[in-house]
């Protein structure tokens, strides 16, 4: 086993402001155990405030019934940019990719997981994720509150994988329209190519401030303690947002490879969608009979969207009262992102064994539920705090 080198992220700055920008809410403990382990510039003065958000019209977010409900981050297979499986040296059936993600897309949280601690991700795959704590539940509850400000969840009957993917495209199209006409949307599902692989994810919130030409990606995380997170936690959050921007811009700039998508995910483009999905698309103004119809609307929606701003921002608020603790502004760094994704793929493809977190970040071990099986747990240095 080898220890991973310290990874230097792009420069950042932290500041406080009274502007309220509610987004995905994740507790400090959840960030340490799940999202940060798995997983925009400062907004202009004319950006919408939290008061105006509650006056925006809600969009329907379609969810599955009759089949196992699956998030887009749990659907599909990973493969190369030509739609074929990604090749590697000595690729074996025992790779984590083959064992755990063979029929799923590699999600953004899969990438952030390995950046946080590859060994912890390995244990997560082998033994299952830790039980949800009180702090996690509180963060999730807050997330749902914010989501319900602009989204109304609607259950839809699905009968096939084509229907499941259709819901993803319907939610994207409706969300994109909400963003264009109202300047704000949440829970936007994405699927695209990133560094030679199929990658999937869900952006928690996107804004297009008035008089702006770019979409603003902002992510807000809660803290149990009234202090800003450690640099490794902020670095992990930056990686998450950079992945989303990369996926977003690829959809805006490049023509979606429709046939390769159908071939890769083994989907029938001429499949007649379920009656409920067809009814919902008709009500939403883009009546679709087949999956191929929806993909064409999806492509048209992508063409109307602006690129994401090169400046991104993480916000941190106190879980107790949602007060702002600080902001971390940083610039998108494509080379740094490529390096992170490449390193993650080495782990997933089995090209090397899982690395341990570096010595200077061994304080992470005290948040880990796998210390009893981790070889370095007895020697970990937890003198630093997060």
d(CA 180, CA 213): 11
Give the model confidence (pLDDT) of 11-62 as tens digits.
343 333 333 323 232 333 333 333 333 332 222 333 333 333 334 556 666 6
Summarised one tens digit per residue, pLDDT across range 299-336 is 999 999 999 999 998 989 898 888 999 999 899 999 99
> Containing domain of residue 368, as a range?
12-379
Instruction: Report the C-alpha gap between 165 and 333 in whole angstroms.
Output: 31
What's the rounded Cα separation, in Å, for the pair 45 and 211?
11
147 pLDDT above the threshold of 80:
no
Looking at the chain, the whole-number percentage of residues with pLDDT higher than 90 is: 47
Q: Over the stretch 243-262, which tens digit does the pLDDT of each residue have?
A: 999 999 999 998 898 998 89
CB–CB of 244/190 below 8 Å?
Answer: yes
Domain count, the chain: 1
pLDDT at 50: 30
* 3: in domain: no
| Residue 159, domain member (yes or no) | yes
Tell me, yes or no, whether 1 lies in a domain: no
Residue 386 belongs to some domain of the structure: no
Least reliable range by pLDDT among 6-20, 56-70, 136-150: 6-20
* Most confident range, picked from 19-33, 63-77, 100-114: 100-114
> How far, in Å, CA of 265 to CA of 11, rounded?
38
In a domain, 304, yes or no: yes
Asked if the structure places residue 5 within a domain, the reply is: no
Half-sphere exposure of 25 (CA within 13 A, CB side): 26
Per-residue tokens: 275 = 């009656």
* Residue 152 backbone phi and psi in degrees, to 5: -120, 115
Q: Which of 166, 214, 266, 175 is nearest to 41 (CA)?
A: 214
Nearest alpha carbon to residue 4 among 336, 348, 359, 249? 359
Instruction: Give the 3-state secondary structure of the chain.
Output: CCECCCCCCCCEEEECCCCCCCCCCCCHHHHHHHHCCCCCCCCCCCCCCHHHHCCCCCEEEEEEECCCCCCHHHCCCCCCCCCCCCCCCCCCCCCHHHHHCCCCCEEHHHHHHHHHCHHHHHHHHHHCCCCCCHHHHHHHHHHHHHHCCCEEEEEEECCCHHHHHHHHHHHHHHHHHHHHHHCEEEEEEEEEEECCEEEEEEEEEEECCCCCCCEEEEEEEEECCCCCCCHHHHHHHHHHHHHHHHHHHHHHHCCCCHHHHHHHCCCCCCCECCHHHHHHHHHHCCCCCEHHHHHHHHHHHHHHCCCECCEEEEEEEECCCCCEEEEEEEECCHHHHHHHHHHHHHHHCCCCCCCECCHHHHHHHHHCCCCCCCCCHHHCCCCCCC
Using the CB atoms, write b or e for 312-350: b if 16+ within 10 Å. bbbbbbbbeebebbbbbbbebbeebbeebbebbbbbbbb
Cα separation, 143 vs 270, in Å, equals: 37
Residue 384: inside a domain: no
Question: Residue 385 falls within a domain, yes or no?
Answer: no
**Of 48-57, 79-88, 235-244, 360-369, which range is least confident?**
48-57
Q: How far is C-alpha 168 from the chain's CA centre?
A: 14
CA–CA dist 323, 315 (Å, integer): 11
CB atoms within 10 A of CB 379: 9
């Amino acid at each position: 086993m080898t220890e991973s080198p310290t990874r230097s992220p792009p420069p950042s700055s932290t500041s406080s402001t009274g502007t309220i920008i509610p987004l995905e809410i994740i507790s400090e403990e959840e960030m340490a155990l799940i999202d940060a382990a798995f997983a925009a510039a400062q907004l202009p003065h004319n950006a919408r405030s939290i008061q105006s958000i509650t006056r925006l019209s809600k969009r329907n977010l379609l969810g599955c019934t009759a089949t196992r409900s699956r998030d887009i981050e749990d659907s599909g297979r990973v493969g190369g940019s030509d739609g074929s499986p990604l090749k590697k040296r000595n690729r074996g059936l025992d790779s984590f990719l083959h064992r755990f993600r063979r029929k799923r897309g590699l999600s953004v949280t899969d990438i952030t997981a390995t950046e946080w601690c590859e060994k912890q991700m390995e244990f997560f795959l082998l033994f299952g994720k830790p039980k949800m704590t009180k702090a996690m539940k509180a963060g999730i509850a807050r997330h749902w509150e914010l989501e319900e400000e602009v989204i109304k969840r609607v259950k839809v009957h699905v009968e096939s994988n084509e229907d499941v993917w259709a819901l993803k495209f319907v939610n994207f199209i409706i969300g994109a329209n909400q963003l264009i006409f109202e300047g704000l949307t949440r829970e936007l599902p994405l699927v695209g190519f990133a560094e030679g692989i199929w990658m999937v994810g869900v952006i928690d919130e996107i804004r297009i401030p008035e008089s702006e030409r770019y979409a603003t990606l902002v992510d807000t995380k809660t803290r149990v303690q009234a202090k800003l997170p450690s640099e490794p936690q902020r670095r992990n959050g930056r990686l998450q947002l950079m992945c989303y921007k990369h996926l977003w811009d690829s959809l805006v700039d490049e023509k979606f490879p429709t046939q390769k998508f159908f071939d890769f995910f083994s989907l029938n483009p001429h499949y007649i969608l379920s009656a409920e999905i067809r009814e919902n698309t008709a009500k939403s103004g883009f009546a679709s009979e087949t999956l191929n119809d929806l993909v064409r609307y999806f492509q048209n929606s992508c063409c109307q969207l602006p690129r994401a701003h090169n400046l991104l921002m993480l916000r941190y608020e106190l879980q107790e009262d949602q007060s702002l603790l600080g902001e971390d502004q940083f610039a998108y760094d494509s080379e740094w992102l490529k390096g992170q994704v490449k390193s993650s793929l080495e782990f997933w493809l089995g090209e090397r064994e899982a690395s341990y977190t570096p010595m200077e970040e061994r304080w992470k071990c005290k948040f880990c539920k796998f210390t009893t099986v981790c070889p370095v747990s007895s020697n970990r240095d937890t003198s630093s705090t997060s």
